[in-house]
Chain A
Amino acid sequence: MNIPTSRRSIWSILLVISGLAFAGVHAETSALNEAKPEVTVRKPTKSGKEIVSPSSSEDDPGDDYANIKHIPDPIEPVNRGTFWFNHQIYRYAFKPLTKVYKFAFPQPVRTGISNVVYNAQYPCRVINDMLQWKTKTAGLETEKFLLNTTAGVGGIFKVSNKFPCLADVPYNDTSITFAKWGIPNGCYIIWPILGPYSLRDTVGFAGDIAEDPITWLTLGAGTFGTLSIATTTPRVTSRGTDQMDNYDTLTQGAVDRYSAVRSAYEQNHKMQEQR
């Protein structure tokens, strides 16, 4: 669950949808968020009433899990339906494609591709650092970019990981900026293919697209067409393999895949916002 390398991009999804059959995978939704789960039809209890569990367990001081705040999910039945649809896409399209990709490209190559894409998204991170007035982080992010681009041969190698001050630069994007500005999450939504987002993060996602250099390259496809494909395709193929693994880990032993993914989404985003 490598958060910095796990943010979403519409371009990967568009590529998959349009069938550019590169052993692709799902988009870079947040590490654990790659929503593709199964529908569990909820049956009412015999009495027709929901059983509501108490909110806390008072006799265990180590149990502080009752206080976790959840993103409102008022359209849960609809979300569960979309979740089921996404899960079928995952099982019958993304997962087989991931296997082909893993077979074709060994781990070091996949890591290199993923590093290049992450490095190229530097503007998105630094813009949001500045929007949050985190000048020190923006400076570190810039140092990291310059180091990886030069010594890391265009970002293939994450040389910055060898320097403690650059290894843990907090990841930033538009959704985190909105959270820092105090904009509330709104409701929880599972989008077809894209997976889970809060309403706020859906708007943040659009902001990320606008800030992403890959968007600029794609828009200028006439001039930079080859470069655009060269940068977009790896994004589809590289990070998604990790996301597939994360999704499997999260859902394989799950009692309720939908709840597992929703909880992971909430927790993962909370951590990013607090960094």
Chain B
Amino acid sequence: MKKLLLTSLLIGLFTGFAHGANEAAENRLKASVDEVVSIVKQAKTRDALIAAIKPPLEKILNFGVMTRRSIGPAWKQLTPAQQQEATKLFTVMILRTYTAKFTPGEFPQVEFKPSSSTAPGRVEVPTTAMYKGSRYDTVYRMEDQSGSWTITDVVIEGVSLVADYRSQFDSEFKQGGTETLLSAMRRSAAETK
């Protein structure tokens, strides 16, 4: 009987924590989405939009974790300086590509669906966005990193951003190791500028 009570208590505590975690992650994401939408609404020019949208994206997107996982096991073979450079390059690539998709005045209608906790400190928030007449099912993978919820992957219509880059980086790494990988990243970041 005692065992049963203890188990129930533990389950209750865990689901309570999970629920709290889900809510915290959802709130963090909603606040960021609202901020981005508000910027897109107010921006007059594309350059102004890109400049204004970067800070909130940099706050919510965890580029450190995203870069590390995109590079995968090869990450360990990079020196700390190379890791830092790779993170910078990856940040440029992502921000340039995705900010280019926004048009001043045209903002997405985002609907949030019930989130789920996949592991302690990890939450997935599914959303549906209507943008420029198209519907996008997007899942935000969020993690609690030192008390702050950040996005560690974005999965659009089943396609994970991190997994997609990982296949590319892996291909480069297999060809020529870390230098080939970094050269390819430098080239890509320069193209997206």
Contacts and interface: CB of A to CB of B under 8 A. Distances in A.
A162 interface: no
Nearest to A268: B158
A3 B172 CA distance: 29
Interface in B158-192: 158-160, 162-177, 184-185, 187-188, 191-192
Nearest to B184: A255
Contacts of A245: 101
A64 B164 CA distance: 13
B168 A254 contact: yes
A43 B183 CA distance: 14
Given A54-B73, A255-B185, A267 B192 contact: no
B133 interface: yes
Interface string B57-99: 0000000010011001111100000000000000001101110
Contacts of B134: 1-2, 5, 111, 242
A74 interface: no
A271 B137 CA distance: 11
A65 B73 contact: no
B17 interface: no
A272 B137 CA distance: 12
A15 B37 CA distance: 39
Given A62-B143, A267-B159, A256 B171 contact: yes
Contacts of A242: 134
A2 B73 contact: no
B47 interface: no
Interface stretch (A85-93, A220-228, A257-265): A257-265
B73 A1 contact: no
Contacts of A150: none
Nearest to A274: B158
Interface residues of B, number: 52
Contacts of A45: 175-177
A99 B135 CA distance: 21
Interface of B: prevailing SS: helix
A53 interface: yes
Nearest to B68: A60
Interface string B129-147: 0001111110000010000
Given A43-B175, A51-B177, A271-B158, A260 B136 contact: no
Contact of B73 (A50, A53, A268): A53
A3 B167 CA distance: 22
Contact of A1 (B76, B143, B159): B159
Given A1-B136, A107-B133, A263-B163, 9 more contacts: A43-B175, A45-B176, A51-B175, A60-B68, A245-B101, A253-B93, A253-B96, A260-B168, A263-B159
28 contacts: A1-B136, A1-B159, A2-B134, A2-B157, A3-B137, A31-B157, A32-B157, A32-B159, A43-B175, A43-B176, A60-B68, A60-B69, A61-B119, A62-B69, A62-B122, A62-B152, A65-B72, A68-B163, A107-B132, A245-B101, A252-B192, A254-B168, A255-B165, A255-B172, A259-B170, A263-B164, A263-B168, A272-B158
Interface of B: 65, 68-69, 72-76, 93-94, 96-98, 100-101, 119, 122, 132-137, 143, 152, 156-160, 162-177, 184-185, 187-188, 191-192
